Amino acid sequence: MSIIFIALGSNLNNPKKQVEDGMLFVSKINGVTFLKKSYLYETSPVGFLNQPNFINAVIKIKSDLDPQELLDKLLKIENFAGRIRINKNGPRTLDLDILLFDDLILNENNLTIPHPRMHERLFVLMPLNDIDSNIVLPNHGPIKHIIKILAPENINRIK
């Protein structure tokens, strides 16, 4: 069984409920055991700024699925939630990103693990830190140190 961290984010159609429902749907995937969830955070958008704030969180699961099988299941959950991909970093009902998958380093056309920009984003690192402050990102170091040196973002813990 692999230990996996997944980021969740939403800024459309009741984002808090979208994230909470996303957690529930991930926990119901065959071959997945739900272990832990972070607090929820409200954050300003990144990249495409003219959109509502996001609700973000991270969950920790264990699974016997391989990365591509898990990605396929996560994309189905996003589609079920009404995810439409128009603009990169644009508004979305639900976004599910595999952050870490054991110590795996993977670089495929449709999946990169560890997530390639997670070390730049407090809205990912802070909820990840809620779950495990001792995580070390390959080529970047301990998340607790990365958090201290990142530029501040408008991020508020809400739950």
Would you please indicate which residues are annotated as catalytic (active-site) residues?
83, 92, 95, 97
Cα separation of the two ends of the chain: 29
SS3 state at 74:
helix
| 57, 41 contact by CB (below 8 A) | yes
Sign of CA dihedral 80, 111, 4, 88: negative
In degrees and rounded to multiples of 5, residue 62 shows phi and psi of: -125, 150
